[in-house]
Structure 1
Amino acid sequence: MDWTLEVIVLPVSDIGRAVAFYRDQVGFHLDHDTQTEQMHVVQLTPRGSGCSIVIGDLPAQNEMAPGSMRGLQLVVSDAKAAREELLSRGVEASEIVTFDARDGGTFFGFSDPDGNSWAVQELRVRAEKPLIPLEARGRFGGDD
C-alpha cells in the first residue's frame, strides 16, 4: 500500500495575501478557495507536484503560529531559471549556493510574507524524468 504525502498545512496570518503570493508570485495552481460562514480554506499546488499546501482558518490551522514552517523544499530542474522567474515576479530569493557539484547539491531559498521558508533544490534529472509524468499531472488527469 502506498502512503502519499499530498497536503501540508501552512500557517499564515492573512489568507488573501498568502493566496496572492503563492498563486501570483510563486506560480502555484489554485485548486480551490472555499469560504463559508464557518471557515475559509484554500488549496494550492506547485506545478508538477503531487503535494499541495493548504491555508485557512480551521481550528487546527489556527493552532500553528503564522510563519512557523521552516525548510519546506521544492525541487526544480534549473535553479537559475527558477530563481530568475521568482525574482521577476517580485519574490525575494537568496543567492544560489552549490554545496556539491553532483546533481542535487545546488539550492536557493525564499520566504513567504509571514516568514514560512522554502528551500529550492536543483535536480537536473527532473528535466528528463519528472517525478510525476506529464500525462499523470493534475487532480483530474490533465495539467490542471
Structure 2
Amino acid sequence: MDIRIHASFLPHDDAEAALAFYRDVLGFEVRNDVGFKDMRWITVGPKGQPVSIVLHPPAADPSITEDERRVIAEMMAKGSYAAVTLATEDLEGVFERLVAGGADVVQEPADQPYGIRDCAFRDPAGNLIRINQL
C-alpha cells in the first residue's frame, strides 16, 4: 500500500500572524492562500517537500456550535488544542532562528529520556510546535 501524508491542519485565529510565523520565521513556502468572507486558509510547507500544513480558521466548520467554538478558542489560547512535530538536522540553529524571530519558547533544546533531543514553541495561535533533532 502506498499511502503518504499530504497535509495536516492547524487552526489559526490571525491569518497575518500565522503567515508571518510560518513563512518569515520558519521559512516555509506559501503554497496557497484562499479567502472566503472574513476567513483565510493558508497552505504552507518546507521547500522541496511534498507535505503541507493547512492553517485554517476553526470557525469555518458549520457543524460546530457556538459553545464548541468558545471551547476551541479557549483551548487554542492555552495552547492545548493542536500540535505538530517537525524535524531538523540543525536543532540549535533552528532554535536560534525562532528565538530571533520572536517565537514563544516553551522548551529550550534538551535531551529527552525517550531518546531524542528536541525543543518546543507555540505559534501565534497557541499551537504547540515541537522540533526534533534528526
Q: TM class, shorter-chain normalised?
A: 0.7 to 0.9
**Aligned in 2, Cα 1:106/1:47: closer, same or farther, shift over 3 Å?**
farther
Distance in 2, matches of 1:5 and 1:86, equals: 25
2:132 aligns with 121
> Which region of structure 1 is more displaced relative to structure 2, 32-41 or 12-21?
32-41
> Which region of structure 1 is more displaced relative to structure 2, 34-43 or 78-87?
34-43
Q: Is the 8 A contact 2:110 2:117 kept in 1?
A: yes
Q: Structure 2 length normalisation: TM-score?
A: 0.74
Does residue 98 in structure 1 map to residue 99 in structure 2?
A: no
1:53 aligns with 53
Does residue 69 in structure 1 map to residue 92 in structure 2?
A: no
1:110 aligns with 121
Distance in 1, matches of 2:62 and 2:21, equals: 18
Q: Which secondary structure state, in structure 2, belongs to the residue aligned with residue 95 of structure 1?
A: strand
Q: Which secondary structure state, in structure 1, belongs to the residue aligned with residue 31 of structure 2?
A: strand
Q: Give the superposition deviation at 1:46.
A: 2.5
Divergent runs of 4+, >4 A: 36-39, 61-64
Percent identical:
28
Query: RMSD value over aligned CA atoms?
Result: 2.7
Q: Is the 8 A contact 1:43 1:54 kept in 2?
A: yes
Q: Which runs of 5+ in 1 are unaligned?
A: 124-144
Distance in 1, matches of 2:133 and 2:32, equals: 28
Aligned partner letter, 1:111: R
> Which region of structure 1 is more displaced relative to structure 2, 109-118 or 86-95?
86-95
Alpha-carbon displacement from aligned partner over 1:18-59 (angstroms, at most 9, x marks no partner): 111211122211111122458532100024543211123473
Distance in 1, matches of 2:38 and 2:92, equals: 43
Q: Is the 8 A contact 1:5 1:51 kept in 2?
A: yes
Distance in 2, matches of 1:105 and 1:37, equals: 43
Q: Which secondary structure state, in structure 1, belongs to the residue aligned with residue 85 of structure 2?
A: strand
Q: Which secondary structure state, in structure 2, belongs to the residue aligned with residue 113 of structure 1?
A: coil
Return the structure number with greater helix share. 2
